[in-house]
Amino acid sequence: MVRVKVNDRVVEVPPGTSVMDAVFQAGYDVPLFCSEKHLSPIGACRMCLVRIGLPKRGPDGKPLLNEKGEPEIQWQPKLAASCVTAVAEGMVVDTLSEVVREAQAGMVEFTLLNHPLDCPTCDKGGACELQDRTVEYGLYEKYYQKGPLELPVYTRFEFTRRHEDKHHPLSPFVILDRERCIHCKRCVRYFEEIPGDEVLDFIERGVHTFIGTLDFGLPSGFSGNITDICPVGALLDLTARFRARNWEMEETPTTCALCPVGCGITADTRSGELLRVRAREVPEVNEIWLCDAGRFGHEWADTRRLKTPMVREGGRLREATWEEAFLALKEGLKGAKGEEVGLYLAGDATLEEGLLAAALAESLKTPHLDFQGRTAAPASLYPAATLEDLLRADFALVLGDPTEEAPILHLRLSEFVRDLKPPYRFAHGTPFADLQIKERMPRRTDKMALFAPYRAPLMKWAALHEVHAPGEEREILLALLGEKEGGEAVRKAKEAFERAERPVLILGAGVLQDTVAAERARLLAERKGAKVLAMTPAPNARGLEAMGVWPKEKGAAWDEPGAPYAYYGFVPPEAALKGKRFVVMHLSHLHPLAERHAHVILPAPTFYEKRGHILNLEGRVLPLSPAPIENGEAEGALQVLALLAEALGVRPPFRLHLEAERALKAKKVPEAMGLYAFRTKALRPKEETGNLYLRPTMWKAWQREGKAKEAASAELWVHPETARLEALPEGASVEVETPLGREEARVVHRQDVPKGLYYLSALGPFAGRRFPAQILVPAGGEA
């Protein structure tokens, strides 16, 4: 450790720490605009200037002492940017002297020269770093007040301020106000360094400089992060723009449950509406980043909600009270045997809900217990790696598309190929200026091999990559096991995997939906002692498996018929609903299949409104906290399953959240952020045939509301030759038969798609599955 004196306090920090983080560690503050956590600092803003001194040393290299016996300090002639200066033993840092305060005040004045000062109409008002820095550092009385009886001068700028384009849309989700931009370059560096998409840059020079892009749209699934890291109101989230002031919104820290990563988010609400979703810093999981689907795809949560129970009378659904719904449950389940009842939870059901469902299924002695999106092979088949294990690994073998299946893995793999390690955790948290990050760091493409059914974005960072047809994962894994010959990329990947000392295996839905491929992946991981990140379609797959939510022998799966009486926490395929005597659906939004088949529909909260815990792909326990969103009479699965038990004449194991938490502790589930290890070898083989492949997508079908409507639309990828034979022109709108009904999709011609196959956006739990293609062309014929 290196000892550094900051003003009057001495701290010990690791070698290579920036002076800025040493200052924060000592309990002081320095202003900054240019740097942000996990971005390489370049000292462009010059706000973090400090005075630095080092001990004078004699010819023998020993420090010279003054008359007090203390090392004599030699101060540097100029102030230094603390974000790019590394600490040294015996260094002294001054952040409080008049010369430092004067320099910082001058930089604030310089930053404000051309700023429009439109705070009353700016959405960033109340959460603006420029406002904070101006209040804390902007007015330095000794410098600005010429005489003791004269008023302070706030600025010496006497010219007309620069005027720029104020409402320039960069994409359907992000708008740029060029007049407010202070040229800190955070957004430019973010795209270069984090997702690796160089889409923004400085254009022109001097006073004419502005941020811009050549084309409309930011070609990245992670563009919304620039609205978080922009220190002023230059980059704004269009889903929340002009909807509320920052101090009017109620902030709820919770967890995103759209994918198995479980990113930390802050849900901002006002008057029962969900106005904005922002990334919340969770260093172990998502750091401070969020994918666009998690950030902008929230407008569905408070749109057209189901707010009261509905019961079927005379063949039609009508609104009812909970008492009437309970009587309908008792009547519909009259005479039902326990083993005839199916309990099917949503893929984002909490650990508490899963534990109650498993206990209730045991009481009923029913084998019909499952959750939406469960794959043929469980995620718990493998020892889980953590995201920090990935950064410490020396080789990553990927079968799937992390960009779509677990988006934050894309950003973690960006760090991985740049040889970045988990940063040191200070008392103030993640370092503000991590000096191991450099600008335009070379990416070591030899550290990653990637195999996917189409050209995935991460292939640009993998020296070994190959596109294969859906279902060929089992052959690739057989070659990786050395039991057959594979292609050149597979052969080299096998050699690299065997040479690696700390490899990590990343598996997508294509492998998990095929029990043969999944078992071969398990053998490959165990042979090398590799840990695995399993990218499941269900966000809480590991957690629900650990709670025992799994179909028993002769039990019907979540997408199969079988149980005459069933509770669904989601909308199942129509094939699973046929022949049912009584169907209870627990939904947040109505669906045509529910209106057609459900006998009782009960209002449910979205994951933004739940209280409980989930388990992410690392096996990490993550907390859910309820945001105050208007949901009428919605109740969680704990209450509804308890009601169902009473209707069946069974005593519910528990019905309150506190009881569920005690039950989790008895099961030795750790507290939030702890790791829960659970392994199983259970497999449920399911034959996958057909020429329609449902490719994984970060966007989900239920997110088609507001600004996200276009982003969450379906695409049908087809090879140009196949498209010509089937008369499917580029851009045509077609309808495709899916398990949940017809899906409208836009035809996209792709050279990387095998001939004779069709790739449809999964937009939900069927990712990685294959079905026979039934495509209706615009003229009404079937292709």
For 384-405, the pLDDT digits (tens) are: 999 999 999 999 999 999 999 9
Rounded CA gap, 292 and 287, in Å?
15
Nearest in space to 736 (alpha carbons), one of 706, 695, 686: 695
- Taking CA atoms, 758 is separated from 508, 509, 511, 725, 771, in Å, by 19, 17, 19, 13, 10
Q: What is the dihedral of CA 547, 549, 553, 554, to 10 degrees?
A: 170
The answer to whether residues 4 and 13 touch, using CB atoms and an 8 Å cutoff, is yes
Q: 707: exposed, middle or buried (C-beta count within 10 Å: 0-12, 13-18, 19+)?
A: middle
DSSP output for 385-434: PPHHHHHH-SEEEEES-HHHHSTHHHHHHHHHTTT--PPP-BTTBS-SS-
The answer to whether residues 71 and 65 touch, using CB atoms and an 8 Å cutoff, is yes
Q: How far is CA 418 from the centre of its chain?
A: 21
Output the six-digit token pair for 413: 């793999």
**Mutual angle of helices 488-499 and 515-528, in 10-degree steps:** 40
Pinpoint the alpha helices (H) of 626-656: 637-647
Rounded CA gap, 201 and 204, in Å?
10
Which residue stretches of the chain have pLDDT < 70? 42-44, 139-145, 153-156, 778-783
Instruction: Please give the pLDDT value at position 204.
Output: 83
Output the six-digit token pair for 561: 């018929």
Q: Which residues of 240-257 are buried (b: 16+ CB within 10 A; e: fewer)?
A: beeebeeeebeebebbbb
- Taking CA atoms, 705 is separated from 222, 300, 310, 377, 713, in Å, by 19, 5, 24, 33, 10
Q: 596: exposed, middle or buried (C-beta count within 10 Å: 0-12, 13-18, 19+)?
A: exposed
Output the six-digit token pair for 38: 């996990």
SS (H, E, C) 523-535: HHHHHHCCEEEEC
Element (H, E) at 101: helix 98-111
In sequence order, the 6+-apart residues with CB closer than 8 A to the CB of 526 are none
SS (H, E, C) 274-329: EEEEEECCECCCCECCCCHHHHHCCHHHHCCCCCCCEEEECCEEEECCHHHHHHHH
In sequence order, the 6+-apart residues with CB closer than 8 A to the CB of 105 are 137, 138, 139, 140, 143, 144
For 211-232, the pLDDT digits (tens) are: 888 777 788 889 999 999 999 9
The pTM (predicted TM-score) of the whole model is 0.92
Task: Say how many C-beta atoms besides its own lie within 10 A of residue 315's C-beta.
Answer: 5
Q: What is the largest CA-CA distance in the chain?
A: 100
The answer to whether residues 362 and 674 touch, using CB atoms and an 8 Å cutoff, is no
Output the six-digit token pair for 567: 């509770």
* DSSP-derived secondary structure letter, 20: H
The single-letter code of the amino acid at 264 is G
Output the six-digit token pair for 163: 């005027």
Instruction: Please give the pLDDT value at position 562.
Output: 86
Rounded CA gap, 60 and 50, in Å?
29
Residues linked to residue 277 through DSSP beta bridges, in sequence order? 267
Instruction: Please give the pLDDT value at position 67.
Output: 74
The single-letter code of the amino acid at 360 is L
Instruction: Please give the pLDDT value at position 141.
Output: 58
Element (H, E) at 105: helix 98-111
What are the φ/ψ torsions at residue 707 (nearest 5 degrees)? -65, -25
Query: 436: helix, coil or strand?
Result: coil
Pinpoint the alpha helices (H) of 171-314: 186-193, 225-229, 292-296
Instruction: Please give the pLDDT value at position 206.
Output: 80
Element (H, E) at 359: helix 351-364
Q: Which residues of 188-200 are buried (b: 16+ CB within 10 A; e: fewer)?
A: bbbbbbbbbbebb
Output the six-digit token pair for 225: 């992060």
Rounded CA gap, 749 and 722, in Å?
9
Region of residue 303 (left: phi > 0; alpha: psi -120 to 50; beta: else) = beta
Rounded CA gap, 704 and 706, in Å?
7
Q: 491: exposed, middle or buried (C-beta count within 10 Å: 0-12, 13-18, 19+)?
A: middle
Rounded CA gap, 692 and 726, in Å?
14
DSSP output for 660-719: HHHHHHHTTPPSTT-B--------------SSEEEE--SS-GGG-SGGGTTTT-EEEEE-
Output the six-digit token pair for 101: 């305060």
Long-range contacts: 593-598, Cβ < 8 Å, 24+?
Answer: 593/740, 593/741, 595/317, 598/310, 598/312, 598/317
